[in-house]
Amino acid sequence: MTDLSTVIAGVTFPNGLMNASGALCVTQEELEALGASEAGAIVTKSMTPQARQGNPEPRYFSFTGGSINSMGLPNLGYPVYAKLIPSLRRFSKPVIASLAGLQPDDFLEGARALNEARPDLVEVNLSCPNIPGKPQIGYDFEESERLLEKLGDILTIPFGVKLPPYFDPIHHQKIAQVLQRVNIAFVTMINSVGNGLVVDPERERVVIKPKGGFGGLGGRIIKPVALANVRALWNIWGDRIPIIGTGGVENGVDVFEHILCGASAVQVGTVLVEEGCRVFARLARELAEILIRKGYGSLMACRGKLQEMS
């Protein structure tokens, strides 16, 4: 029996497959469906102090090779999720609470609420690219460090960060230094690649309504960017800080590539939206077949084993 389990920040996951925050995880029904599925964890929608309807629709569009979205953080608000989280424990898998905010104080308020709710881990979203007029904190290294230090003073639960894609080695170095200084427990990367644009040539218009059609790209099209970011941080710190790889996972091979690059687990977004929660059983089966064929007895046995050319 191939062992697909993994450990992140001292928390054991039955397998290393989970939803990306934002994908079918807003409502109680969606969260319970994740609990009943073969997912190795339940990741909540990124939550803000008050409930949000999000951006106007249409705000998600799937195309050949990926998806574009500008959701605008639709969620039920901290108080509702804080009440829901304890009940999700009945599914006997880790619960990861995704924490967001439109300003720094929002994060601190949410951290206090989550201390009471006691999820297994908190994922601090520094990388939501689809709030009009709001920058991604993850591209401001000094502001990120200030915020994470404040959260560290509040949270009594291990917490990590969800990061945007970085495209320059110096940015990988800088964010790695920040995360090491504030003792982050794990990293999720990458969030969608922001400010993409998809055009409908027949209608001669954009395919989503918010922000003039600009949105975050996900799916197969962003996999090379995601793998590069996972590998870059693995090269800097090895297994000292676990990485959850996100971006372009559609099948077992994609999962395997993320693990080879250094991820301890993966999150799925676009394929989950398109296929539903049954995707986790398929991915687990496909990943197990690859590991068996290659002689790996467990998921963790191949972590970071990517070879470079001599």
List pLDDT tens digits, range 236-249.
Answer: 999 999 999 999 99
Q: Over range 258-264, report the average pLDDT.
A: 98
pLDDT exceeding 90 applies to what percent of the chain? Answer: 95
Task: Quickly list DSSP for 196-231.
Answer: EE-EETTTTEESS-GGGGEEEEESGGGHHHHHHHHH
Strand arrangement, sheet containing 214-218: 60-63, 66-69, 214-218, 193-197
Q: How far is CA 98 from CA 202, 270, 274, in A?
A: 38, 18, 22
Q: Over range 210-218, report the average pLDDT.
A: 96
Question: What per-residue string of b and e applies to 23-55 under the rule 16 or more CB within 10 Å gives b?
Answer: bbbbeeebbbbbbebbbbbbbbbbbbbeebebb
In this prediction, residue 176 carries a pLDDT of 98
- Band (pLDDT 50/70/90 cuts) for residue 17 is very high
Q: How far apart are CA 156 and CA 112, in angstroms?
A: 9
Q: Over range 127-152, report the average pLDDT.
A: 85
Q: Which of these is catalytic: 25, 128, 261, 277? A: 128
Task: Please name each of the domains of the chain with its CATH number.
Answer: 6-54+72-194+225-301 (3.20.20.70)
Q: How far is CA 196 from CA 45, 61, 129, in A?
A: 22, 12, 10
Q: How far apart are CA 18 and CA 2, in angstroms?
A: 18
């290659």: which residue's tokens? 294
Whether residue 43 contacts residue 98, with contact meaning beta carbons closer than 8 Å, is answered with yes
User: Which tokens hold the place of 108?
Assistant: 């601190």
pTM of the shown model: 0.97
Cα separation of the two ends of the chain: 34
In this prediction, residue 157 carries a pLDDT of 97
Q: Over range 124-128, report the average pLDDT.
A: 90
- Band (pLDDT 50/70/90 cuts) for residue 135 is confident
254 contact partners, CB below 8 Å, separation of at least 6: 223, 248, 266
Nearest to 12 by CA among 305, 304, 306, 298: 298
Catalytic, 128? Answer yes
Q: Over range 169-179, report the average pLDDT.
A: 97
98-102, 112-116, 125-129, 305-309, range with the lowest pLDDT: 125-129
Nearest to 129 by CA among 169, 181, 173, 73: 73
CA angle at 151 for the pair 44 and 236, rounded to the nearest 5°: 85
93-97, 129-133, 237-241, 256-260, range with the lowest pLDDT: 129-133
pLDDT surpassing 80 at residue 134: no
pLDDT surpassing 70 at residue 149: yes
Whether residue 191 contacts residue 127, with contact meaning beta carbons closer than 8 Å, is answered with yes
- Band (pLDDT 50/70/90 cuts) for residue 129 is low
Q: Over range 257-285, report the average pLDDT.
A: 98
**Mean pLDDT of the residues in the chain:** 96
Residue type (1 letter), 192: S
In this prediction, residue 283 carries a pLDDT of 98
Q: Over range 80-98, report the average pLDDT.
A: 97
